Structure 1
């Protein structure tokens, strides 16, 4: 394979004096692209500062950490989840994700980068070896099974992809239902910036635009929902103490700070999150249906009896909505009966939880729940359904101390 020479870039310079990434990409076959990616890592020792990202040097840290923080905010990752690090390079981000307890697959078109990343891992962080798998990306198809990862992150690698719509379809394919893809991309005009032009000239690899509207259109066509954009606040104007206090008390933002925020939105790096929806929505998504006023559930009291100081109740529950109710105790969105105790001093809403079922409750399904309550100091109870960590259903069943219906929601 003939090594790329920087003067070859002249063949792809347009009338504006800039390299056209589309023309460069069209003239680059797969083998040439692979060789050029590998050339970027030739002769790079494991002691190189690129292995210490995002803390390679002060300037790189200032530039990288804001984007990384924004990406982690949108990624909403939890220990044990499976994450795809697309365009992982030498695996610096894969290692950082693994340090947080995530199982990471890193993919990159350069086998040389993968080999060096694995060597660095073996020498410097062998304890992460079981959580990090680095592999070469060969072609547009991701070498992963359908619905095999919970999260995808493409950290400043999307501009290397000519067919971004095809990549989004692949990301959708490998994500589980409810999975999130986070794309950290440069703003419009990236390919014309001096840095991108210099890299294309030096390496012979196209750096494409990532148009936000086109990206979102392609994401919707792939099946994604919930598009969100978080601007990266890399260079916010600092405030003196007096200006900070005034802004915190509700006054308009000072001009310099407002201008830097606007600059970040208009011309800075942006983080984009996309969600693969659930085939049949479950109770983790029920807040949206509640906000729209859709009927969620019905509660009714079918039996009540007093046994000494305890009140035995049987409550009938029916799922009226279109969401599957996850079982209580299964994590966020698990549905339980929430019992509030009414006393002379007020209502203790989180007095007790009662498990509905060990299994999911399907739309339209009805069930009965039997439980007992201690009547000591209680003048009544308020019984409602709650999707844990998501929302109360607000269909309360109010019962007095004798077990009689006071009010039903």
Structure 2
């Protein structure tokens, strides 16, 4: 059995970087690499499952800057761009990055591209990015190839913003013992290291990370009778599920390193909530006279409301819906009104908004908040307020 520690001891970081590039240079047809996760009907379910777990744990928001470390041919970054994130593809193989450029050029994302992807060559030691310049880091099946974990975690901790999260989807603690890993290490002089979190986390703590969390998961089919018994105590079924989790996590580890406290913001729906108080519930106006509505708004959620961002994405605004006297919708986007600063959790702001009407009648104006291109707050549980306005 080849011990991965022997490879780390006997082969330099530079030589392992060259080996990685030689691997990608040897690929005659890059299309399967570019087509991941859908290039193999055998691998697709597992890769998609791993992607779902890592994406959910990262708490992504639109327009976030994401460093994909050990990006390979950058196929994961392409889907992050599809989610309207700003991506930096970083890898030791310049050949892999060239394939990634070809992927983005020949298979562009569907819809609006927030920003062009960046491609960054990694020399095995230093990430050529400013300190605290990325919101999130993703590493999908790359960290187990890293011989200098201490040096790399120091760099990842340096470039990650305070409050950021680094997410890893990697093999498990016995990865090096598998026949495939032994074959790769023997014939190609690559590192197929074990992922041992009791060794990794103390290193991460030295370099600015403050917490670690894991995703528990399994691939477990049960019968209808077992499913219907889940609401009751079924020790035999519970033990089978737990044993399956143990088995799966020997071969797949999805973990997240936190740098400081995670504070969501309005680029995502997570933690968005408000309380609105109106000064009055009724107004009487003449046609053409502006309706001045005074209100207090409190951020009762955990997320900071942004007042500016790229293309207004995730910017929180006061929005109104217009209905007639019987409650029939006239205009869902009747008006928008901006805040002049970010609003933090538990902060209260007093606002006066103005709306006008070009016809007479009795109208109901529903006052609500919207995070642009994300969601209306009422769709995730907050209660809007309604004012009745009579125009004569």
TM-score (normalizing by structure 1): 0.64
Shift of 1:210: 2.4
> Among 351, 356, 360, which residue is 1:368 paired with?
351
Against the structure 1 CA distance between its residues 316 and 160, is the aligned structure 2 distance closer, same or farther, given a 3 Å change threshold? same
> Among 68, 72, 90, which residue is 1:107 paired with?
90
> Among 156, 160, 185, which residue is 2:145 paired with?
160
**Structure 1 CA distance, aligned partners of 2:134 and 2:245?**
35
The DSSP-based 3-state class of the residue aligned with 1:272 is: strand
The residue number in structure 2 matching 1:336 is 318
Against the structure 1 CA distance between its residues 289 and 132, is the aligned structure 2 distance closer, same or farther, given a 3 Å change threshold? closer
Against the structure 1 CA distance between its residues 314 and 183, is the aligned structure 2 distance closer, same or farther, given a 3 Å change threshold? same
The DSSP-based 3-state class of the residue aligned with 1:143 is: coil
1:315 equivalenced with 2:294 (yes/no):
yes
Q: Which sections of structure 2, spanning at least 5 residues, go unmatched?
A: 110-114
**Structure 1 CA distance, aligned partners of 2:247 and 2:134?**
31
Query: Which 10-residue stretch deviates more, 132-141 or 331-340?
Result: 331-340
Q: Which sections of structure 1, spanning at least 5 residues, go unmatched?
A: 1-17, 291-295, 403-409
Kept in 2: contact 1:89–1:108 (CA 8 A): yes
> Among 26, 34, 42, which residue is 2:9 paired with?
26
**Structure 2 CA distance, aligned partners of 1:288 and 1:221?**
30
The DSSP-based 3-state class of the residue aligned with 2:215 is: strand
Higher relative contact order (CA 8 A, sep 6+): 2
Kept in 1: contact 2:369–2:376 (CA 8 A): no
The DSSP-based 3-state class of the residue aligned with 1:368 is: strand
1:191 equivalenced with 2:176 (yes/no):
yes
1:264-316 deviation per Cα after TM superposition (whole angstroms, max 9, x unaligned): 653242333456679987556897597xxxxx778462897522488934415
The residue number in structure 2 matching 1:293 is none
Query: Which 10-residue stretch deviates more, 281-290 or 55-64?
Result: 281-290
Against the structure 1 CA distance between its residues 298 and 41, is the aligned structure 2 distance closer, same or farther, given a 3 Å change threshold? closer
> Among 174, 179, 190, which residue is 1:205 paired with?
190
The DSSP-based 3-state class of the residue aligned with 1:325 is: coil
Kept in 2: contact 1:188–1:209 (CA 8 A): yes
Give the superposed CA RMSD.
5.3
Kept in 2: contact 1:300–1:317 (CA 8 A): yes
**Number of residues of Structure 1 aligned to a counterpart in Structure 2:** 370
The residue number in structure 1 matching 2:126 is 141
**Structure 1 CA distance, aligned partners of 2:385 and 2:40?**
60
Kept in 2: contact 1:299–1:395 (CA 8 A): no
User: Where does 1:172-251 land on structure 2 (aligned, <5 Å)?
Assistant: 172-175=157-160, 180-212=165-197, 215=200, 222=207, 229-231=214-216, 233=218, 235-237=219-221, 243-244=223-224, 247=227
Against the structure 1 CA distance between its residues 222 and 344, is the aligned structure 2 distance closer, same or farther, given a 3 Å change threshold? farther
Shift of 1:205: 3.3
Query: Which 10-residue stretch deviates more, 199-208 or 73-82?
Result: 73-82
1:84 equivalenced with 2:70 (yes/no):
no
Against the structure 1 CA distance between its residues 141 and 47, is the aligned structure 2 distance closer, same or farther, given a 3 Å change threshold? closer
Against the structure 1 CA distance between its residues 181 and 362, is the aligned structure 2 distance closer, same or farther, given a 3 Å change threshold? same
The residue number in structure 2 matching 1:271 is 254
**Structure 1 CA distance, aligned partners of 2:322 and 2:82?**
41
Q: Which structure is larger by alpha-carbon Rg, 1 or 2? A: 1
